[in-house]
């Protein structure tokens, strides 16, 4: 009994250290950028959780009416054993393929992948072993962001004759609260901090695809992570594209309180969006000099 307790404690401590490092390391992760050129291709990564999380996320994507000619690369991250989310992602992609917006160029609408990572914590799993599975999930999420996940390597090998560029880091990451989303955001934050080192080891991790704004066409003020003061794909001083921008969208079911995932990710994400006015101005446990953005209902 002592062994799993000790291992779980060590794993939990390691994950806490990673989150703390991502939060307080004095890295330049929010450099001002030039205004982007419209209609640049974007690699969008979407984290899907079981059941309600997936339904909400796909409903928000339908409401935003993504243009497949802009968001030409879409990566869905699902947990192991979550066939429901994978099936729903395929159904959503088929709806894009059949939409009038794709016109005759269907290749752009089909540019999507579904990647499976281990669950951060299984249902009824002991809290003693949960830190171990969380670290395992974190490791696989890191591989996904770098394009080194086994599923991605298999796809790359199958399409080695293709002239399309390596997708590299995703430009924008969307999550609405599953545990896997916490691992993805922490991994993205760390990769942004240690990007120079990562690019020396894996130069193909950063592609030439510039970042863009995930905007919704409705009347809400939701306009994406690169709006406001940093609204472009490239650093003014280094000329590198902006990537791994993170957006957390709190669940529509959260009317007066923020979820645990939201409390953890609030200081880590680039934008924290809430759908109820009662949560407008939420400032987290320690403030961090920022507030949640009220954007209204994003569901279709």
pLDDT digits (tens, 9 = 90+) for 20-53: 655 555 444 443 333 345 457 889 999 998 878 8
Pair of tokens at residue 35: 């205004």
* pLDDT at residue number 85: 93
> Does the pLDDT of residue 92 top 80, yes or no?
yes
Most confident of the ranges 1-5, 77-81, 195-199? 77-81
Check residue 210 and give its pLDDT. Answer: 37
Look up the CATH superfamily of 2-14+38-157+164-294.
Answer: Glycogen Phosphorylase B; (3.40.50.2000)
Higher pLDDT, 84 or 110: 84
| pTM score | 0.75
SS3 43: strand
| pLDDT score, position 39 | 53
Rounded Cα gap, residues 60 and 51, in angstroms: 15
Q: Give residue 26's pLDDT.
A: 47
Contact 145, 75 (CB under 8 A): no
So what's the pLDDT on residue 217? 39
Distance between CA atoms of residues 150 and 179, nearest Å: 21
Give the C-alpha separation, 88 to 180, whole Å.
Answer: 17
What are the residue boundaries of the structural domains of the chain, listed by start? 2-14+38-157+164-294
**pLDDT in the model for residue 84:** 93
Low-confidence winner among 31-35, 67-71, 287-291 (lowest mean pLDDT): 31-35
Alpha carbon separation from 130 to 3, 179, 190 (Å, rounded): 14, 11, 21
pLDDT level of residue 275 (50, 70, 90 thresholds) = very high
CA angle, 140 then 141 then 147, to 5°: 90
- Residue 182: φ, ψ to 5°: -60, -45
Q: Which of 243, 248, 217, 249 is nearest to 230 (CA)?
A: 243
24/6 Cα distance (integer angstroms): 27
């Amino acid at each position: 009994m002592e062994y799993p307790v000790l291992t779980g404690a060590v794993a939990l401590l390691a994950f806490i250290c990673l989150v703390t490092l991502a939060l307080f390391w004095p890295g330049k992760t929010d450099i001002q950028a030039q205004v982007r050129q419209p209609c640049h291709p974007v690699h969008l990564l979407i984290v899907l959780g079981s059941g309600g999380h997936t339904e909400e996320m796909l409903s928000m994507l339908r409401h935003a009416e993504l243009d497949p000619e802009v968001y030409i690369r879409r990566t869905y991250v699902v947990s192991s054993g979550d066939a429901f989310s994978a099936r729903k992602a395929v159904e959503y992609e088929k709806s894009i393929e059949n939409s009038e917006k794709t016109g005759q160029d269907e290749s752009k609408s089909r540019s999507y992948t579904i990647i499976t990572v281990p669950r951060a914590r299984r249902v009824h799993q002991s809290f003693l072993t949960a830190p171990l599975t969380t670290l395992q999930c974190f490791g696989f999420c890191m591989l996904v962001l770098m394009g080194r996940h086994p599923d991605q390597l298999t796809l790359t090998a199958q399409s080695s004759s293709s002239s399309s560029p390596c997708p590299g880091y995703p430009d924008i990451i969307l999550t609405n609260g599953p545990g896997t989303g916490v691992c993805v955001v922490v991994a993205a934050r760390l990769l942004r901090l240690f990007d120079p080192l990562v690019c020396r080891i894996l130069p193909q991790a950063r592609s030439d695809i510039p970042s863009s704004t995930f905007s919704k066409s409705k009347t809400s003020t939701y306009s994406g992570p690169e709006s406001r003061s940093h609204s472009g794909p490239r650093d003014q001083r280094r000329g590198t594209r902006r990537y791994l921008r993170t957006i957390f969208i709190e669940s529509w079911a959260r009317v007066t309180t923020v979820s645990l995932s939201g409390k953890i990710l609030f200081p880590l994400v680039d934008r924290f969006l809430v759908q109820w006015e009662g949560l407008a101005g939420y400032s987290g446990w320690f403030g961090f000099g920022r507030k949640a953005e009220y954007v209204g209902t994003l569901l279709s």
